[in-house]
Structure 1
């Protein structure tokens, strides 16, 4: 039995099988919409515990 997932773009139910070349998307269109959203920086991965930048004007701060 194939696993069924929701298309991340439109929510359509999609079979997760090798014959679905767009998985996890339902179509080329949904895949391209998602790619475009990443390209436009609509999605972001939050950073945790970023290293603090060293202040070149104040050498005592490290």
Structure 2
């Protein structure tokens, strides 16, 4: 199996990645929304808008 980030041979310690660096790159993509699937579903958009409004109402 090859690393999904750089295509090198994967390391059993970091499987499916070849190194901690590639595992961290993948995690950053997840956390940054790089793997998000765009949606045009009005229900999804409404739910996202509600979540933003609720987050704005929380005391910081």
Determine if the TM-score, normalized by the shorter chain, exceeds 0.5: yes
State the partner residue of 2:34.
42
TM-score relative to the length of structure 2 = 0.56
Larger RCO: 1 or 2 (CA < 8 Å, sep 6+): 1
More strand by share: 1
1:34 CA displacement: 0.2
Q: Which has the larger radius of gyration?
A: 1
Point out 4+ residue stretches in structure 1 off by more than 4 angstroms. none
- Gaps of at least 5 residues in structure 2 are 44-60
How high is the TM-score relative to the length of structure 1? 0.55
Gaps of 5+ in 1: 54-62
RMSD: 2.0
